[in-house]
Each structure stands twice: as C-alpha cells, then as structure tokens.
Amino acid sequence: MTADTASAIDMETLHKVVGSLVADYNAAMASALIYIGDRNGLFEALNGAGWVTPDELASETGQSPRYLREWLSAMACSGYVQYDRVADRFCLPPEQAFCLANPDSPAYFPGLFEMLPTWYANAPKVADVFKTGGGVPQHEYGEEFWRGFERFTRAQFLNHLTQHWIPGVPGLEAKLQAGARVADVGSGNGQAILILAHAYPNSQFIGYDNYPLAVASARQRAADAGVDGRVRYELRDVAQGLPGTYDLITVFDTVHDMVDPIGSLSAIRRALAPDGVLLWTEFNVSGDLAENLANPLNLAKFTYSASTLYCMTTSLSQGGAGIGTCMGPHKAEELADEAGFGSFRRVPIEDPFTAVYEVRP
C-alpha cells in the first residue's frame, strides 16, 4: 500500500469490508460442517437428547468422538448448539432443532446445505462461461443437488401450498375439492403434486418436466405414495405445447429458469380452461437492485448468487432468456402480458420468501 493509496482509504469502511469478508468466510466454513452434521445424522441424534458429551454422541451414532468434539465446538461457536463449560456437555436447543432437525418445519434448512457441494463443484465451470456468455447445463447438477433442493422446497409446500396459496385464489379450493384437472409445469421430483393429491382426492394430476432424472424420481415417489392412479409424470418441453386442458396449472419457482419463458407461458395459457388459473410462485425479491439492497432479510444476496450459479446459467446454456432468479413482480406481469394472459394478480399473502401470482387467460 502506497502513501497515496492509504490516504484515499476510509478506515471505518475498510474495517466493515474486512468484517464482511471474515463473516462470509466463517459462514462458508461453518456451512461445510452443517452439511456434514446433516449428512451424518448428527442433528437428528442431538434432537431431544438433552445434554451429551462427545463420547455419548459417538456411542449413539457410531462415529469418532474426536471428530464429534471438534464438530460440536464449531457448532457452539456458530450458535447452533449450546455448551455447558462446567459439565463439558453440548445440547441442541429446540429453536435450532426446529430449523436443523425437523423436516416438516417451515424453517427447515439442511436441504440448502446439501446443495452446497454442487454449487462449489460447478463454480469453476460457471467462472469459465463468464468469458463466453454461455452456461452450465442442468445435467451438470447431480442427484445430491436435487435431493437437497427437494428437501428444502418440501417444507415450503408442506406448510404453505394448501394452507395459504390455494385458499388465496378465490374459488380454487372448492374446484379442487369437487374434482379438477391439474398440471404442474417444472414438477421436479413431484412433491408438490403429491401434497395436492393427498389434499384433494377427487382431482387428477400430471407433472411435466424436461429433466429425465427428476421425472424418474417423481414416478417412483408417486408409486411409493400409492397415488399413481391419479398422478402421473411426463418428460416434456412445455414450450412445445401441453396436451389436454386444465382447470389449474402450477409453476413453482420455475419461470425464471426457463429457456423460453414466453413460449412456455403461451403454451400454458392455451392449455388452460376458459375459467382456469395459473398459480405461479417466485422468490419474494424485486427486479430492481436498489429495492433488493433495502430488503431487511437481504434475500437477494442468496437469489443473485443462486441465479449466477444455477438459474441463469442453465438457461443460457441452451441459448435461453437467462432471466435469473431476481425477476420480480413487474417482470412477471410483463411476461404474462406478452404470453397473452388477460389478468395478473399478486395474491395478498404475507410471506417474506415467496411471491404468489394468480394469472388467468
């Protein structure tokens, strides 16, 4: 650092930058250990166990007490477990267990951490396409990534889909209870449809996805759940059109990933019955960076990162629109209008993470 450079630097700002970098690096390191704790069943073993020593946790889990002590110490420094210095014991408090050990919780996070190894493994590939403007294709994100994504999104569907999103659209719940034809576009592993199928046994469901691994997994889940008579999944590029007519079509956090969002939304509009509805969710962020910077949760720190590492790059890998995760409601309404929809409404639901749109032909 030269004297001229030093004089141009505001030390208070420099300290904040250093603090942010240290915090991000600490979080990255701790995230790797959360991943290990989840993968090795440690949070599950700690849940409800009270105060335990590393040796007791080792006896319960069949893992090395030396590794467990180091892991528990790191988790204590992160605030995820508590430490009793006198007794030299650790415990997982109920609030932390709610987020780390309860898969039915609306605040269940381990699935996100299961995705981390793939984010990092693909980062060099994403770095390379910065230079070409291309992308990293979906097949480069393997089974662990999709399993983690499924675990994270399952908690959202389980706690919000039939409790808030469906009732937020006038008349939709009654139609599903009476018996409706439903398609889920970008159905992934099929869990949203399975939740709907159990809630509305008089309705028929089909999921469409263009990723063979997801479709195969969804079919197996439907068979295991005993609903494959009313639920089926097909491999299809929705932009090429949808067979049949539907009372409800759902797209959950999918439009921003699409190669051809206008073509896909147009196909969805054509497949809706005249009184049908498109139920569409996106992350609750703005399309405007300045607005996202003012978000108290700083959710866009995640969504811009996820967009760079997956959502935008997978679309660009196929020469797609590359809209990205931070689409925001104005862009969503613009896309709906371009696709020929007649009405667009944001469902008035208080949810810091999800925006829900009701779109009609």
262 with 353, same domain?
yes
* Rounded distance between C-alpha atoms, residue 286 and residue 163, angstroms: 25
Q: What share of the chain is helix, strand, coil (3-state, %, to 5)?
A: 55, 15, 30
Last residue of a domain, one of 72, 102, 132: 102
Residue 21 scores a pLDDT above 90: yes
84 with 147, same domain?
no
161 with 22, same domain?
no
* Rounded distance between C-alpha atoms, residue 336 and residue 197, angstroms: 27
pLDDT tens for each residue of 195-205:
999 999 999 99
pLDDT confidence tier of residue 29, bands split at 50, 70 and 90: very high
Task: Supply the pLDDT for residue 2.
Answer: 57
In the chain, pLDDT over 90 holds for what percent of residues?
91
Task: Supply the pLDDT for residue 228.
Answer: 75
pLDDT confidence tier of residue 276, bands split at 50, 70 and 90: very high
193 with 59, same domain?
no
Residue 234 scores a pLDDT above 70: yes
Last residue of a domain, one of 46, 76, 102: 102
More confident position, 211 or 78: 78
pLDDT confidence tier of residue 4, bands split at 50, 70 and 90: low
pLDDT tens for each residue of 168-191:
999 999 999 999 999 999 999 899
| Helices 143-156/191-199 angle, 10° precision | 30
**Structural domain count of the chain:** 2
On whether residue 135 sits in a domain, the answer given is yes
198 with 127, same domain?
yes
Chain centroid to Cα 63, Å, comes to: 31
Q: What is the residue-averaged pLDDT of the chain? A: 95
Residue 3 scores a pLDDT above 60: no
Task: Supply the pLDDT for residue 112.
Answer: 96
pLDDT tens for each residue of 58-115:
999 999 999 999 999 999 999 999 999 999 999 999 999 999 999 999 999 999 999 9
Task: Supply the pLDDT for residue 226.
Answer: 87
pLDDT confidence tier of residue 213, bands split at 50, 70 and 90: confident
Phi, psi of 83 (to 5 degrees): -125, 130
Supply the CATH number for residue 74's domain. 1.10.10.10
214 with 92, same domain?
no
* Rounded distance between C-alpha atoms, residue 185 and residue 260, angstroms: 13
Residue 117 scores a pLDDT above 60: yes
pLDDT confidence tier of residue 355, bands split at 50, 70 and 90: very high
80 with 116, same domain?
no
Supply the CATH number for residue 213's domain. 3.40.50.150
Question: Cα torsion at 192, 194, 200, 201 (round to 10°)?
Answer: 160
45 with 149, same domain?
no
On whether residue 162 sits in a domain, the answer given is yes
**98's tokens:** 């709610």
On whether residue 303 sits in a domain, the answer given is yes
pLDDT confidence tier of residue 7, bands split at 50, 70 and 90: low
On whether residue 338 sits in a domain, the answer given is yes
22 with 169, same domain?
no
On whether residue 63 sits in a domain, the answer given is yes
pLDDT tens for each residue of 308-333:
999 999 999 999 999 999 999 999 99
Task: Supply the pLDDT for residue 334.
Answer: 98
Last residue of a domain, one of 53, 79, 102: 102
Pairing of strands 246-252, 272-283: parallel
On whether residue 140 sits in a domain, the answer given is yes
On whether residue 341 sits in a domain, the answer given is yes
**What value does the mean pLDDT take over residues 269-284?**
98
Q: Give the residue numbers spanning the domain of 123.
A: 112-360
